[in-house]
Amino acid sequence: MSAPRSQKVTKVSEQTLESEKNSSSNRNVVSSTSSSSSSNTTDKSKKLLCVRFTGRLGNELFQYASTLGLALTLHRTPVFIGSVHLPSVLKHFGDPSIDYTQLHARCDKAASVGEKTCCKWEESLTKLDPSKDFTVGLYLQSYRYFDDHQAELRQALTFSDAVRNESSRIVNELRRKYNSSTLVAMHLRRGDLIAEHNQKLGYPLVSEAYVNRSMAYFKALYPDALFVVGSDSPEWCQQKLSSVSHVHCLAPRSAAVDMLTLSSMAHRVVSFGTYSWWVGYLTRARTVVYMKDFLVNGTYIGSCFHPDGRDYFYPGWIPL
């Protein structure tokens, strides 16, 4: 999640493990990614579920997936407004044949309903008044909003051909260079979380201890493992990991290319935040581990989650 903002009161991509085997706001974005949404976007009898995007790529992906999942559950038309990132990242985002003016006008008049906190599933969002249009938000960071609609999500979360091709090229180069059959992705977020105000809020930093535990865990299972590290603090990674064998620190590219590159690997180590969450979830993984001590009790961030991380961390992920 990103830093807190005031709230209004009121699996997965089709690109799976293939690699393991070898801008400005846009309002014209009603999803056309599933048969149930695209075939009914102009049905005036169908109520709307609108979302206004906020945050960076990881946040937008949660808002998109959760709104789509809720719309499918509630038999509503999803309307996605103001995405900065997704139109250029996703292969299927919006339908140029549809005029959205009336739908946007309805969203402007829709009742607003939000969750109490970012990262706990809110049952009330699945029981909205069927006679009204609604705008939902702000964060919607729980897989439970969309987990029942995997087929639709596979199509909706397919990245663009350009992103997929670049990601495949990077992974193939790593395989040729290191001749390793087991790639372990590590996403280590530190950069913005080091700031004093974020530490006071309770954002957890990736520690050397967590990195070492993760490497030891996978080395015991796969002695030939190559650890492919992506981070917003590449200097820290080079400093801490340059002397470790079988580690490759990725040169930063676009957020989408880096995300898909890391999520193309069968085994993944994730840190804190929505971007890292999608690295773990975006494509089917064999193993995903996360920080077991990610919560700092008595802090704002600590209050945003269940103590055991349920609703947020995906079932089967391993706390380490």
Q: What is the tally of structural domains in the chain?
A: 2
Domain-ending residue, one of 121, 156, 191: 156
Domain that holds residue 218: 161-319
**CA pair distance 190, 193, nearest whole angstrom:** 5
**Residue 172 near residue 22 (C-beta atoms within 8 A):** yes
Mean of per-residue pLDDT scores for the chain:
86
What pLDDT, on a 0 to 100 scale, did the predictor assign at position 207?
87
List, in sequence order, the alpha helices (H) in 222-289.
234-241, 255-263, 274-281
Reported in sequence order, the residue ranges of 22-97 that DSSP labels E, i.e. its strands, are 48-52, 77-81
Is the residue at 2 inside a domain?
Answer: no
Cα dihedral 88, 13, 46, 95, rounded to 10, equals 30
Is the residue at 202 inside a domain?
Answer: yes
What pLDDT, on a 0 to 100 scale, did the predictor assign at position 1?
59
Based on the fold, state whether residues 91 and 232 are members of the same structural domain. Answer: no
Based on the fold, state whether residues 288 and 261 are members of the same structural domain. Answer: yes
Q: Which residues contact 184 (CB under 8 A, 6 or more apart)?
A: 218, 222, 225, 226, 227, 228, 265, 267, 268, 269
Averaged pLDDT for residues 13-23: 37
The dihedral region occupied by 73, where left means phi > 0, alpha psi between -120 and 50, and beta the remainder, is alpha
What pLDDT, on a 0 to 100 scale, did the predictor assign at position 157?
96
Counting other chains too, the contacts that 116-125 makes at CB distance below 8 Å and 24 or more residues apart are 117/303, 117/304, 117/305, 118/1, 118/4, 118/304, 119/1, 119/304, 119/305, 119/311, 119/312, 120/304, 120/305, 120/306, 120/311, 120/312, 121/145, 121/311, 125/70
**CA pair distance 69, 136, nearest whole angstrom:** 12
What pLDDT, on a 0 to 100 scale, did the predictor assign at position 98?
65
**CA pair distance 153, 93, nearest whole angstrom:** 12
**Residue 304 near residue 118 (C-beta atoms within 8 A):** yes
More confident residue, 242 or 81: 81
**CA pair distance 283, 291, nearest whole angstrom:** 20
Is the residue at 291 inside a domain?
Answer: yes
Based on the fold, state whether residues 128 and 226 are members of the same structural domain. Answer: no
Q: Is 123 helix (H, G, I), strand (E, B) or coil?
A: helix
**CA pair distance 186, 320, nearest whole angstrom:** 13
Q: Is 188 helix (H, G, I), strand (E, B) or coil?
A: strand
Based on the fold, state whether residues 110 and 198 are members of the same structural domain. Answer: no
Based on the fold, state whether residues 212 and 115 are members of the same structural domain. Answer: no
Averaged pLDDT for residues 212-230: 95
Based on the fold, state whether residues 174 and 151 are members of the same structural domain. Answer: no
Based on the fold, state whether residues 180 and 263 are members of the same structural domain. Answer: yes
**Residue 279 near residue 263 (C-beta atoms within 8 A):** yes
pLDDT tens for 109-161 read 999 999 999 999 999 999 999 999 999 999 999 999 999 999 999 899 999 99
Counting other chains too, the contacts that 19-23 makes at CB distance below 8 Å and 24 or more residues apart are 19/167, 19/168, 19/171, 19/172, 19/183, 19/264, 19/265, 20/183, 20/264, 20/265, 20/266, 22/172, 22/175, 23/84, 23/85, 23/87, 23/88
Based on the fold, state whether residues 76 and 179 are members of the same structural domain. Answer: no
Based on the fold, state whether residues 186 and 309 are members of the same structural domain. Answer: yes
Based on the fold, state whether residues 95 and 114 are members of the same structural domain. Answer: yes
What's the length of the chain? 320
Is the residue at 5 inside a domain?
Answer: no
**CA pair distance 120, 273, nearest whole angstrom:** 14
Q: Is 267 helix (H, G, I), strand (E, B) or coil?
A: strand
- Full-model pTM: 0.86
Based on the fold, state whether residues 303 and 184 are members of the same structural domain. Answer: yes
Question: In terms of C-beta density within 10 A (0-12 exposed, 13-18 middle, 19 or more buried), how is residue 178 classed?
Answer: middle
Domain-ending residue, one of 139, 156, 173: 156
| Helix or strand run (H / E) with residue 319 | strand 318-319
Which of 129, 88, 92 minimizes the C-alpha distance to 110?
129
CATH number of domain containing 306: 3.40.50
**Residue 86 near residue 32 (C-beta atoms within 8 A):** no
pLDDT tens for 147-189 read 999 999 989 999 999 999 999 999 999 999 998 879 999 999 8
Domain-ending residue, one of 141, 156, 171: 156
Based on the fold, state whether residues 127 and 190 are members of the same structural domain. Answer: no
